[in-house]
Structure 1
């Protein structure tokens, strides 16, 4: 069988290209990557920690202890209370909370319930419910809130707080 010289040259050229291409393929890196994967925060533990803060907050609010409540806010916090202008900084927040405490009937008990938390472990957003009961245990007010907490000096402190009632008294 005779082969065409053109076919022989073509086969030789293709073979040469395969050899050249194979030799020029970059070597696969076998070195191990040292990329660190950030550990996910334990949101159940954070929820427990935030609920403890909210329980302390509720107790101080029930007792109308403005200083204990203010200790839970960062100096640069912002409060967005129901039917009030935005309060920026502790001095403004103090005035809003004092007004609220004065308006609340004597003998009422305040409860805050942390429903959910999410975030990166350093900044956490909380979603919760507020319940206020009179001395007989009857619910006199219910509402909801969102708080943003930031870990500063090893503990969570409130940097943003927004809250409102579910239904106003008529």
Structure 2
């Protein structure tokens, strides 16, 4: 069966029209997807904010100011300190921290260094290291920790804290 040349031309035009139309459709979908992308949090600024909390925490720990330290914890916080059972809630955490403060020698200083933070801006995990120095400035202990902070009422507060020493007393 022979085909009329006009029919072939009409078929080619129809196929090309479908091809051109379908090429434009993904561009419209891409614009919609771009609109849904949320702004990423400024992790550098968050790291600075968390380090400021840790500096305050270190000052309070060095001064053995338990009330100032407890203000940095959420009421429902969980503490997992080195060589201690898991503590749930401020009352239990307070007891463990008081015990730790009592055991620390007079004149020692504590510092915390935020190494890294990650999260979504409202819930942030911090990885850091601890240094304890004696009254002469000699390092007597080092350790590491992870803290999880949640933004509540516009400020970060610790909801989970885990820490341990790098090496036990010799």
Question: Smaller-chain TM-score range?
Answer: 0.7 to 0.9
Task: Determine which of 8, 14, 22 is the counterpart of 2:3.
Answer: 8
Name structure 1 gaps, 5 residues minimum. Answer: 1-5
Q: Displaced runs of 4+ in structure 1, greater than 3 A?
A: 11-32
1:119 counterpart residue number: 119
Shift of 1:35: 2.0
Comparing both structures, which one devotes a greater share of its residues to helix? Answer: 2
2:151 counterpart residue number: 151
Q: Distance in 1 between matches of 2:8 and 2:91?
A: 82
Q: Distance in 2 between matches of 1:65 and 1:74?
A: 17
Q: Distance in 1 between matches of 2:54 and 2:17?
A: 67
Q: Distance in 2 between matches of 1:77 and 1:12?
A: 80
Greater shift after overlay, 69-78 or 23-32? 23-32
Correspondence list, 1:8-27, <5 A: 8=3, 18=12
CA RMSD across the alignment: 2.1
- Could you give the per-residue CA deviations for residues 40-92 of structure 1, whole angstroms, max 9, x where no partner exists? 11111111111100000001011111110010011111101000011111111
2:130 counterpart residue number: 130
TM-score (norm 1): 0.85
Name structure 2 gaps, 5 residues minimum. Answer: none
When Rg is computed on C-alpha atoms for both structures, the one with the higher figure is 1
